Amino acid sequence: MPELPEVETLCRQLRGVIADREILSVKILDPRLGAVDGLVGRKITAITRQGKALEIKLDNDARLLLHLRMTGKMEWQSASRALPPHTRFIIAFSHGRLLCIDPRRFATLVITADGSSQAFVKDPLHDFRIEELHKIARVKKLPVKSFLMDQRLIAGIGNIYACEILHEVSMSPWRPVCGVSLREWRKIERATKEILEKAITCRGTTVSDWRDLFGQKGEYQHELKVYDREGLSCLRCHGIIQRLRLSGRGTYFCPTCQRR
Ligand SMILES: [Zn+2]
């Protein structure tokens, strides 16, 4: 599932391709998406990220909010080629077309007046609101990993990066979040920024199907310290990385240096 670095990658790539361009046509191929009217003839004025969603702003101030969910991908075709399987919609421009490809059909595309993220921390890259977040966490008993991944609290962190962040700060994913001190929150903040920023420069993590706008794999899978490394030795302490389920998600951790 695309997380913050993958969506940010798409966002930056889309800016280079469709900013200031006029939409010539829109074709919805999957009726589950519903009708999306009023796009033809509009010019794209801005492309931003809201957590894990892409927000495309139009010259009439409407916003097109695209959430890729589980398996959604965006692909740019500058010359018309055959449509890949599972293409769900096409937005055409004079210099090429933008496709959304989504085998599991969970991606959503809506026009909205206000697309801004509802999360408490809207952008963990720039504004972690650490003291307020610490106060919220102090009265919650859920595991710290579930807290980091709660999109109502922090926008953009999913399973891969939550595992990496907690390994970086040597914290057990099961640690009740109420016991995380302000000092530890500052470490989490620093690790989150470093990891997400590095992942953006690597254009995301391809461990299964993530591809960028031009069909290329990301590079951050080569930087992973714990995710997808079950049975391998920890790069910090030489413990053996384990994978256990936490709230239904495969959670990778080092039982030696992430004991508490
Ligand atoms: Zn370790």
| pLDDT, tens digit, 9 for 90 and up, residues 28-76 | 999 888 878 889 999 999 999 988 889 999 999 899 999 998 888 999 9
Number of domains composing the chain: 2
Q: What is the pTM of this model?
A: 0.93
Residue 2 annotated to the active site = yes
Residue 105 annotated to the active site = no
Predicted confidence (pLDDT) at residue 113 exceeds the cutoff of 80: no
CATH number, domain with residue 80: 3.20.190.10
Reported as a pLDDT band with limits 50, 70 and 90, residue 1 is confident
Check whether residue 40 and residue 81 sit in a common domain: yes
Calculate how far, in angstroms, residue 238's C-alpha sits from the geometric centre of ligand 1.
6
- Residue 88 structure tokens: 């769900």
Residue 197 annotated to the active site = no
Check whether residue 108 and residue 134 sit in a common domain: no
Mean pLDDT rounded to a whole number for the chain:
94
Of the residues 49, 52, 88, 175, which is catalytic?
Answer: 52
Contact 170, 226 (CB under 8 A): no
Q: Is 199 part of any domain?
A: yes
**Higher-confidence residue: 123 or 253?**
253
Q: Is 120 part of any domain?
A: no
Domain boundary among 85, 112, 139: 112
Instruction: For residue 229, count other CB atoms closer than 10 A to its CB.
Output: 19
Reported as a pLDDT band with limits 50, 70 and 90, residue 115 is low
Residue 143 annotated to the active site = no
pLDDT at residue 79, rounded to an integer? 87
Reported as a pLDDT band with limits 50, 70 and 90, residue 199 is very high
**Mean pLDDT confidence for 1-23:** 95
Q: Is 220 part of any domain?
A: yes
Predicted confidence (pLDDT) at residue 164 exceeds the cutoff of 70: yes
Q: What is the DSSP letter of 178?
A: G
Q: How many residues does the structure list for the chain?
A: 260
How far is it, in rounded angstroms, from Cα 20 to Cα 15? 9
DSSP string, 41-87: T-BEEEEEEETTEEEEEETTS-EEEEE-TTT-EEEEESS--PPPTTE
How far is it, in rounded angstroms, from Cα 66 to Cα 64? 6
Of the residues 105, 140, 225, 249, which is catalytic?
Answer: 249
- Domain containing 45: what range? 4-112
Query: Do β-strands 249-253 and 108-112 pair in parallel, antiparallel, or remain unpaired?
Result: unpaired
- Residue 150 structure tokens: 């709660």
Predicted confidence (pLDDT) at residue 25 exceeds the cutoff of 80: yes
